[in-house]
Amino acid sequence: MSRARDIQAQGPFRADQLSAGDPYELSRGHVVECLPTGARGGKANLLGGAVLASDPAVEAAGVDTGFSPNPSTMRAPDVAVGAIPDEPGWVPGVPALAVEYADRGQNETELAEKIDELLGLGTRFVWVVRLAPPPLRQATAAPQSAPVPYVEVHEAGEPIRVYGIEETLTAPGVLERPVPVRALIERDAGLDATLANLLARRGYESLDAVRHEGHAEGRAAMLLELLEARFGALEEALVQRVRSGSVEQLRTWAKLLPSIEAPTEIFE
Per the CB < 8 A criterion, the answer to whether 71 and 10 are in contact is no
Query: What are the structural domains of the chain?
Result: 15-201 (3.90.1570.10), 207-267 (no CATH)
DSSP state of 135: P
Q: What span, in angstroms and rounded, lies between the C-alpha atoms of 194 and 181? A: 13
> What is the model's pLDDT at position 34?
86
Distances (CA, A) of 192 to 50, 98, 179, 180, 263: 11, 22, 11, 10, 44
> What is the model's pLDDT at position 5?
47
Q: Which residue has the higher pLDDT, 182 or 214?
A: 182
Identity (one letter) of the amino acid at 235?
E
Identity (one letter) of the amino acid at 212?
H
Query: Mean pLDDT for the chain?
Result: 89
Residues with Cβ < 8 Å from 147, sequence gap 6 or more?
A: 164, 165
Residue pLDDT, tens place only, 66-110: 999 899 888 999 999 999 999 999 999 999 999 999 999 888 989
Identity (one letter) of the amino acid at 84?
I
> What is the model's pLDDT at position 31?
82
> What is the model's pLDDT at position 144?
55
Query: What is the reported pTM?
Result: 0.78
Per the CB < 8 A criterion, the answer to whether 153 and 161 are in contact is yes
Mean pLDDT computed over 36-60: 94
- Work out the angle between the directed axes of helices 39-53 and 187-201 (0-180°, nearest 10): 20
Q: What span, in angstroms and rounded, lies between the C-alpha atoms of 263 and 234? A: 8
